[in-house]
Amino acid sequence: MNMEIVKINPLMKVTVLTGAGISAESGIKTFRDGDGLWENHKVEQVATPEAFEINPELVWDFYKQRYQASVNAIPNQGHYALVKLEKALGSNFKLITQNVDGLHHRAGSRNILDMHGNVERCFCTKCRKHFKLSDIDMNVRLPLCSDCHGLLRPDIVWFGEIPYHLDAIERLILNSNIFIVIGTSGTVYPAAGFVMTAKYKGAVTIGINLEKPHNIDYFDHFYVGKAGDLLPELIKQWL
């Protein structure tokens, strides 16, 4: 592990990947901490296309709760520190997030790729039209499309589905000078593999997490702790 402090200049291309850990201090539960159950469900039981086919009511109930939790949460110092970094770097800063809670958007980050979707949106399984959850009747157990009456589903990338923006993400990773990973356990692919590719392509890789993740070997610099505590100070040092 390299102990030198990284210096970022505005010409460097910086890509950040975030996971559930960055939203933990906003009160959003992570996936794999604690007993491995998520609101008493195994993640796979509510986050697969098969689960939605078998029991769409359960899956919708679950994501309506996630939506309420996200809407009620507020961004924390970790989210705001990344907004500061983006302000310093402009379009050389890109943020890839696995989180669906929308907190980076609400904090004010702009260059965001929501690779796993967004809990504030849904789309029609028949005609693919997208809707905001705030625009549909949430009291209906199974919301239907106002255009074609097809069943709506949460705009979440479930297990077995292909994440969004993979082409753009690949280009970013191949061209990054610095690749920073925050608050993710490094267990869900393809995101867990991004740091390896970035490192092999010559980026300086930096990790921040409450505990050591599975892919720790690919980090040049690693900081153990809470993102909301560490990020504001680290970003001051990097800039």
> Which residues have C-beta within 8 Å of that of residue 46, sequence separation ≥ 6?
38, 58, 59, 62, 63
In the list 82, 213, 218, 221, the residue contacting ligand OAD (rule: CB under 6 A) is 213
Fill in the DSSP letter of residue 151: B
Structure tokens at 147: 């255009």
Task: Write down the least CB distance from residue 196 to ligand OAD, Å.
Answer: 15
Catalytic position from the list 105, 116, 149, 221 = 116
The one among 47, 82, 96, 119 contacting ligand OAD by CB under 6 A:
47
Site for ligand OAD in 6-25 (CB under 6 A): 19-21, 24-25
* 79 vs 199, beta carbon nearer ligand OAD: 79
Question: Quick check: 136 binds ligand OAD (CB under 6 A)?
Answer: no
Provide DSSP, 6-43: P---TTS-EEEEE-THHHHTTT---SSSTTS-BTTB-H
The CA distances from residue 170 to 162, 163, 219, in Å, are: 14, 12, 18
Q: Tokens in use for 36? A: 């491995």
Q: Applying CB under 6 A, does 183 fall inside the site for ligand OAD? A: yes
The answer to whether residues 202 and 175 touch, using CB atoms and an 8 Å cutoff, is no
User: Among 185, 198, 221, 238, which residue interacts with ligand OAD (rule: CB under 6 A)?
Assistant: 185
Examine the residue annotation and report whether 116 is marked as an active-site residue of this protein: yes
Give the footprint of ligand OAD on this chain (CB under 6 A): 19-21, 24-25, 30-33, 43, 47, 98, 116, 156-157, 183-185, 187-188, 209-211, 213, 226-227
Active-site amino acid positions: 116
